[in-house]
Structures are given as structure tokens and as C-alpha cells.
Amino acid sequence: MSNIGKKPIQLPSEYTIVQKEYTNFKQIIITINKIKKYINIPKNYTLKIKEKKLYLETTTKEKFYGTLNRKLEQMLTQKFRRQIRLDGIGYKLELKGDEVVSDIGYSHKLHYKIPKNIKIKEVGTNILEGESDSLEELMSFLSKIWIIKKSKKDKYKGKGYTIMKV
């Protein structure tokens, strides 16, 4: 077993943890300050709470043990930030209210509604920065924008979207 997997995870002051069992996996729902975070774990893992510390336990030896422990810790403690940049002459990427508006040469502008758990701010011209407690939700939202005009699609001219770590 992994030594990283055995390390306890410090829990915040106010939290609730709910486990839902399905046929192939367990879904863990952690609520901190009215924000719900979800993670799916294999069925042979269990969560135990002792003195404001969360312990991940397993019945079998698996390589995924340490990775899952770190992922749970990141989910409880970190905020994830990514930037999306749009390059190209005449292309525009801007924030209008609760929407991201993109003008990339089509006959109409593209509008993307920002989910509740994600905060978006304008960093510069055609650069937006997203912040979220959940990396999956943040990357899912940014990939909806990115997939329309990938920077790999036009790599010689350098036109398109690029997602960067902050």
C-alpha cells in the first residue's frame, strides 16, 4: 500500500460528507460553505472520519490509493485556476455579465453561460482567467469554448484558443 494514501486529510471547520453507493462505484459529496463537490471512487475504498481528519482506507492493494488520497485533499483545500487566451486578428473574447462572448469570425457571436461554481475575470485583451474549487468543472467549461477553434487547428498562423495554467 502507498504511504501517501495512508496520510490523513485535514477537514475544514464546517463540512458535510455524504456517500452514495452505486453498482460499480461510490459517489462522495462533500459540502463546504454551501459549495458541493463531487468525486467518484471505486467500491473497495471507504472513508473514515476521526477528530476532524479524513482517512481513506481500502481492502485491496492498488496503485490508485495515493492518487485518490491526493485528489481528495486537493478537492478540500485548493482552488484551481486556468487562463484561456484567444489569438488572431479580429478575434474577440470578452466577459459580459454572466456570459463569455466569443467572436471568432463566424456570422454570429458565440455565448457561453458561466456555471455557478466558476468565477471568470478578464485579465487582458482576449485573456480570461477562471477559478473554481473543482478542476473537472473548470476544465469542462473552458473546453467547451476551446473546442470551437483549437490553437492546434491552425498551428502555423497561431490562431485560436489556448488554455494555460496560472
Give the position of cell 502507498: 2
Confidence of residue 166 (pLDDT cuts 50, 70, 90): confident
pLDDT over 60 (residue 1): no
Q: Report d(CA 147, CA 127) in Å as an integer.
A: 16
Closest to 43 (Cα-Cα) out of 17, 63, 66, 19: 19
Domain that holds residue 149: 80-165
pLDDT at position 155 is 67
Express each pLDDT in 40-75 by its tens digit: 888 888 888 888 888 888 887 777 888 888 888 887
In this prediction, residues 79-86 reach a mean pLDDT of: 89
Give the position of cell 477537514: 11
Same-domain pairing of 20 and 97? no
Residue 119 · residue 133 · CB < 8 Å? no
pLDDT over 90 (residue 86): no
Q: Report d(CA 165, CA 27) in Å as an integer.
A: 28
Same-domain pairing of 92 and 15? no
Same-domain pairing of 93 and 138? yes
Express each pLDDT in 104-153 by its tens digit: 888 899 999 999 889 999 998 889 999 988 888 898 999 888 887 765 65
Residue 160 · residue 152 · CB < 8 Å? yes
Q: Which of 18, 45, 77 is at the close of a domain?
A: 77
The CATH number of the domain where 133 resides is what? 3.90.930.12
Structurally, how many domains does the chain consist of? Answer: 2
